[in-house]
Amino acid sequence: MKIAAAAYPLSPLVDFAEYTAKLTIWVEDAVAGGANLLVFPEYGSMELTSLARRAISENLEAALHEVARRGPAVDALHCELAAKHNVYILGASAPYFGNTRPTNRATFYGPSGIIGHQDKQMMTRFERETWDVVAGNPLQIFDTPIGKIGVLICYDSEFPLLARALIEAGAQIILVPSCTDTLAGYTRVKVGAMARALEGQCVVVHAPTVGLCHFCPAVDENVGAAAIYGPADKGFPETGILAETALNESGWAIAEIELSAIETVRAQGSVFNHYHWPEQADRAAQTIQILKIL
C-alpha cells in the first residue's frame, strides 16, 4: 500500500464550501499519488475558526467551541471522500466536548464510514496550563484490511511506553499527527517518531501543520515536515526515512510499504528491538550502584 502524510497549511476560509473544496483537492492529490492511507495533522481543524467572527477565532476558549460544533459536518465530508476514493483517512484532530473540558480527538475514517476515534493522551504545557484541554479515552488499535494501526498525537510520540502498548497490542503502523510552533518542537516530535519506529520495528507516519495562521493565536506559527519512517534495518532505508517533504513546505510525503517488510525485519533484522524490549525490565530492576570517587 501507499501512505500519504500531509504537511498541511491552515488557510483562512470564506465558508464551509471553501473548506470542502480544499480538503477535496488534498485528498484527490494523495489518491492521484496512489495513496490509500492519508494522514492529516493535529489541530489542522483549527482553520475552521476563520469561518467565525474574528472575536471568536482570536479567543482561545471560543475557538475550541467553534471548531467542535462543526464536527458533524466535518465527519460527513471525510466519510464522503473516504467512500468515494476507497481510502482510509486520519482526519485533522479537533477539540471534542464529551465532558466539561475538551479532548484533542482525531477521527479515523474508512470507505464504510467512521472507524473510530483516538484522543490525545499526554497534554503539552500549553494544553494543560492555558487551554485546559484534557486527556481522553485510552489508546485504540484500528484493525483494518490495510493493517493494524495506532495513533499517537504529537506529544504522545515522545513517550515510549505509549507506543509500546500499541506495539504489544499488534500495531504495525503508528500515525503521528502534530502541531508544533518551533523548530525545537518539531524536532522533538520527529526524533520521538523515529525512535518509536526503531523500538517497535514498525512504520511511523508524521503529519504536521506548516506555515503561519494569522487568524487563530492557538496555532499561529507552525513548523514541520511530513515524513514516513521505518527502522533503519533490513528492507528499509539506511536512514530510516521512507519519504519526507522539505521543511515548512506544504504537500504530501508518500511512500509505498509492505506489511510483510515489518514482520521480516522483526524476525530477521540486524537487531531485534521489538523482540528484546522485555529484557530491559530485568536489567533496569537491578540495583544501580553509585560509585563515589574521592
Average pLDDT, the chain: 97
Q: What is the pLDDT of residue 287?
A: 73
C-alpha cell at 9: 497549511
Residue 127 lies in a domain: yes
Q: What is the mean pLDDT of residues 119-127?
A: 98
Rounded alpha-carbon distances, angstroms, from residue 275 to 1, 193, 199, 270, 279: 25, 19, 9, 12, 9
Does residue 290 surpass a pLDDT of 90? no
Does residue 62 surpass a pLDDT of 90? yes
- The β-bridge partners of 173 are 149, 203
Summarize pLDDT for 170-201 with one digit per residue, the tens.
999 999 999 999 999 999 999 999 999 999 99
Residue 291 lies in a domain: no
pLDDT-derived band of residue 154, with 50, 70 and 90 as boundaries? Answer: very high
Q: What is the mean pLDDT of residues 110-138?
A: 97
Residue 294 lies in a domain: no
Q: What is the pLDDT of residue 204?
A: 98
Whole-prediction pTM:
0.96
- Domains identified in the chain, total number: 1
Q: Give the domain CATH number at 93.
A: 3.60.110.10
pLDDT-derived band of residue 212, with 50, 70 and 90 as boundaries? Answer: very high
| Pairing assessment for the beta strands 221-222 and 203-212 based on DSSP bridges | antiparallel
3-state secondary structure of 44: helix
Residue 293 lies in a domain: no
Contact criterion met (CB below 8 Å) for 223 and 182: yes
Does residue 236 surpass a pLDDT of 80? yes
Q: What is the pLDDT of residue 291?
A: 76
More confident residue, 132 or 288: 132
Rounded alpha-carbon distances, angstroms, from residue 169 to 115, 139, 159, 200: 18, 10, 16, 11
Percent of the chain scoring above 90 in pLDDT: 95
> Which stretches within 35-132 are classed as H helix?
54-57, 60-68, 71-85, 125
Name, in order, each residue with C-beta under 8 angstroms of 246's C-beta and a sequence gap of 6 or more.
225
Do you know the residue count of the chain?
Answer: 294
Residue 158 lies in a domain: yes
Residue 244 identity (one-letter amino acid): E
Does residue 18 surpass a pLDDT of 90? yes
C-alpha cell at 149: 494501526
pLDDT-derived band of residue 235, with 50, 70 and 90 as boundaries? Answer: very high
> Which stretches within 115-247 are classed as H helix?
125, 160-168, 183-200
Q: What is the pLDDT of residue 136?
A: 94
118: domain range? 2-285
